[in-house]
Amino acid sequence: MGWRSVAVHEAEAQGIRAVQSMLLDSEDIAEFLDGLTAMIARRLSVDGARILCSVTLERDRRPDTVAASGPEAAELDALQDDYPDGPCAAAAREHAVVRVGDVLDDVRWAAYHAAVAERGIRSILGVPFELRGEASAALNIYSTRPGDFSPEAIEHVQLVVGEASTALLLAVRANRSAETEADLRAVLASRAPIDLAAGVVMGQNRCTYQEAVEILKTASNHRNVKLRDLAIDLLSGFGERRRTPTSTADQIGVTGPEAVAYSAPASASCARCRRSAAAVASAPS
């Protein structure tokens, strides 16, 4: 591996660690996404370029800006809503990276490009989140410099967005029945580490979000640790454990009969999980 490959690999690893650390330190998913946009804007703002960054989530063909690096980034997102289409909307809808090298030369979305050019924007990048078809979303990056966003920069942003997609996906799932923007923001303001840990339990036990949280609460009581601390412990090593599969019981340190609540086979009903968790909760210490 050449020196450049080593440098690129280390930069990617640092990006992943930064996203994971930010997620564990955030009180809620909204704070995490705001921090993510600010981090990307800061890292890409080099050589005199000014970078603005936002996240747009679209459900039922209704776009909503759920995070932004600042008020100006949010305004640029809102501006796109005034036009039939735009690069960031296309990135989310088509699930593909969209780059506009110079808004003054790119003939796609000409009316929108003219509007952002008046605000000093010259190049745009849209990178889609991985939401498994349950919604569409994109990270939107605006630069005051023409010709911005090299292939290496785009690859780095894609890596960061891929790491962040799980948090946004869980927020979408928890909010599946919500109808208003206020509902969405309430879900985004939920406890990020606990929600993501619940997502891990959901995937391994094939149960609902509420059932997964109850499983975590039982484990929290069993270990006599705070629920948030248990969730962070589970998530902090999840990347490594994905390469060496273990049961949820192993991951959160539960042994004995109560481990049944966390290791029921995929074919088992999650009612079994609930019964086992209830038995643990009522068992004498």
Distance CA 217, CA 108 (A): 51
Which residue, of 188, 219, 251, is where some domain finishes? Answer: 188
Whether residue 89 has pLDDT greater than 80: yes
Contacts of 2 (CB under 8 A, 6+ apart): none
N-term to C-term CA, the chain:
55
State the DSSP H helix or E strand holding residue 230, giving kind and residue range, or none if neither: helix 227-236
* Closest residue by Cα to residue 106 from 126, 132, 129, 127: 126
182 & 203 share domain? no
170 & 117 share domain? yes
144 & 30 share domain? yes
129 & 270 share domain? no
Q: What is the CATH number of the domain that holds 131?
A: 3.30.450.40
149 & 271 share domain? no
Backbone angles phi, psi at 250, to 5 degrees: -65, -40
38-42, 179-183, 228-232: which range is least confident on average?
179-183
Q: Which domain covers residue 267, as residue numbers?
A: 192-282
* Closest residue by Cα to residue 154 from 34, 56, 15, 18: 15
Structural domain count, the chain: 2
pLDDT score at 139 = 96
156 & 107 share domain? yes
Of 58-67, 85-94, 119-128, the range with the highest mean pLDDT is 119-128
18 & 155 share domain? yes
147 & 37 share domain? yes
246 & 142 share domain? no
Whether residue 141 has pLDDT greater than 90: yes
221 & 166 share domain? no
Which residue, of 143, 170, 188, is where some domain finishes? Answer: 188
Contact 151, 52 (CB under 8 A): no
107-116, 166-175, 214-223: which range is least confident on average?
166-175
Whether residue 246 has pLDDT greater than 60: no
pLDDT score at 184 = 57
232 & 140 share domain? no
Whether residue 187 has pLDDT greater than 70: no
212 & 172 share domain? no
Which residue, of 152, 170, 188, is where some domain finishes? Answer: 188
Tens digits of residue pLDDT in 9-22: 555 566 566 666 76
Length of the chain: 285
Backbone angles phi, psi at 11, to 5 degrees: -65, -40
Residue 261 — very low, low, confident or very high, per pLDDT cuts 50/70/90?
Answer: very low
